[in-house]
């Protein structure tokens, strides 16, 4: 079990929620059919068996399943990668990878939990707190949400501003103490530790501050916008102690 760094203690994602994800593996498999039925109903029966997780299983991914909603994704290097922060901000900003690496880095070790039941325990992620980028840009008073876009050209996600400012939400540059590789969304992805992994948009290219939450890719297809692990997507029966 990891022990959260001091600055993370006392945030809403406490030990309770974290421990609540342990042992969810078996439960997740049992709970999956209900979610799958809901998704299939939503898609008119066209959904594959496991719409957000079973495509492209990486043989040596250490439990990770590679997933992309697009068939190919361009590669970006330190020379070509850019992350823009815009929308309802006073100082729209474009970061290079070097610029992101030069900012203070936060490392967290949590379980990764896909909504379809697979889980990878104790996975280190590191990067820049999203709150830092938002503060640097100067979020306007009228703002209420943040929208994320990706250089795969299709995937989108969103968080409320309150969620986006949590200390356990990162623009991650590293996973398992290595630079994020392309398959896992490198050079930079969103990492939303307390939520199911579909919130953690890979190949992050844009952060746009908006007034209201707009549904992301999977949310338009039936998944919860507030994707707290153990408390959303029909998993309210997850352990709570
Ligand atoms: N751009 C993009 N981000 C994405 C996805 C995607 O298809 N495209 N899939 C999501 C889902 S459903 C999961 S479970 C994780 C998978 O991350 P991994 O490929 O690093 O295991 O990424 C999330 N972020
Ligand atoms: Mo997923």
Residue 181 sits in a domain whose CATH number is 3.90.420.10
Alpha carbon distance 28, 49 (integer Å): 14
Q: Rounded to the nearest 5°, which phi and psi values hold at 79? A: -80, -30
Per-residue pLDDT of the chain (241 residues; tens, 9 = 90+): 334 333 333 333 333 333 333 333 333 333 343 443 343 333 333 333 445 554 444 444 556 777 789 889 999 999 999 999 999 999 999 999 999 999 999 999 999 998 877 888 999 999 999 999 999 999 999 999 999 999 999 999 999 999 999 999 999 999 999 999 999 999 999 999 999 999 999 999 999 999 999 999 999 989 999 999 988 887 644 444 3
- What number does the ligand 1 atom closest to the CA of 202 have? 3
Cβ-count burial 88-119 (b if 16+ within 10 Å, e if not) = bbeeeeebebeebbebeebebbbbbbbbbbbb
CA of 239 to the centre of ligand 2 (A): 20
Q: Could you tell me the residue range of the domain that residue 159 belongs to?
A: 19-221
Q: Which of 216, 83, 238, 228 is nearest to 166 (CA)?
A: 228
Name residues contacting ligand 1 (CB within 6 A).
Answer: 52-53, 64-69, 114, 150, 152, 155, 184-185, 197-198, 200-203
Distance 90 CA to ligand 2 centre (A): 34
Tell me if 214 is assigned to some domain: yes
Which pLDDT score, from 0 to 100, does residue 233 have? 87
Q: Which of 199, 115, 222 is nearest to 150 (CA)?
A: 199
Q: Which ligand has the minimum distance to the alpha carbon of residue 112?
A: 1
Whether 166 contacts 11, CB under 8 Å? yes
CA distance 238 to 217: 25
Cα of 173 from ligand 2 centre, angstroms: 19
- 173 occurs within a structural domain: yes
Let me know if residue 12 belongs to a domain: no
Q: Which residues, including other chains, have CB under 8 Å from residue 6's CB and lie 6 or more apart?
A: none
pLDDT reported for residue 102: 98
DSSP notation for 144-208: -EEEEEETTSS-EEEEEHHHHTSTTEEEEEEETTEEPPGGGTTT-EEEETTB-GGGS-SSEEEEE
**Torsions phi, psi of 66, nearest 5?**
-70, 130
Whether residue 41 is contained in a domain is answered as: yes
Q: From atom 22 of ligand 1, which residue's Cα is the shortest distance away?
A: 198
> Any bridge partners for residue 84, and if so which?
94, 206
The pLDDT of residue 162? 98
The pLDDT assigned to 62 comes to 59
Cα distances (Å, whole numbers) of residue 162 to 33, 34, 40, 212: 32, 30, 31, 12
Do the domain assignments include residue 114?
yes
- pLDDT (0 to 100) of residue 38: 40
- The predicted pLDDT at position 92 comes to 98
* Residue 229 is assigned to a structural domain of this protein: no
| Ligand 2 centroid from CA 59, angstroms | 17
Overall domain count for the chain: 1
For residue 234, being part of any structural domain is answered with no
Flag whether the pTM goes above 0.75.
yes
In a domain, 186, yes or no: yes
């Amino acid at each position: 079990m990891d022990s959260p760094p001091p600055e993370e203690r006392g945030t809403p994602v406490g030990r309770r929620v974290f421990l609540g994800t342990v042992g969810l593996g078996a439960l997740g498999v049992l709970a999956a059919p209900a979610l799958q039925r809901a998704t299939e109903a939503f898609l008119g029966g066209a959904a594959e068996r496991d719409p957000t997780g079973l495509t492209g299983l990486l043989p040596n991914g250490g439990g990770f399943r590679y997933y992309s909603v697009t068939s190919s994704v361009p590669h970006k290097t330190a020379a070509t990668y850019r992350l823009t922060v815009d929308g309802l901000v006073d100082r729209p900003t474009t970061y290079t990878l070097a610029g992101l690496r030069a900012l203070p880095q936060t490392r967290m070790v949590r379980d990764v939990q896909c909504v379809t039941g697979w889980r990878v325990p104790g996975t280190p992620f590191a990067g820049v707190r999203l709150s830092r980028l938002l503060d640097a840009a100067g979020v306007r008073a009228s703002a209420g949400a943040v929208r994320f876009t990706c250089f795969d050209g299709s995937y989108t996600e969103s968080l409320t501003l309150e969620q986006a400012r949590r200390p356990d939400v990162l623009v991650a540059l590293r996973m398992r103490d290595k630079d994020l590789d392309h398959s896992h969304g490198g050079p930079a992805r969103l990492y939303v530790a307390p939520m199911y992994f579909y919130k953690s948009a890979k190949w992050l290219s844009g952060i746009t501050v908006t007034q209201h939450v707009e549904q992301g890719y999977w949310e338009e297809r039936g998944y919860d916008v507030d994707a707290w692990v153990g408390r959303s997507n029909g998993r309210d029966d997850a352990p709570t102690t």
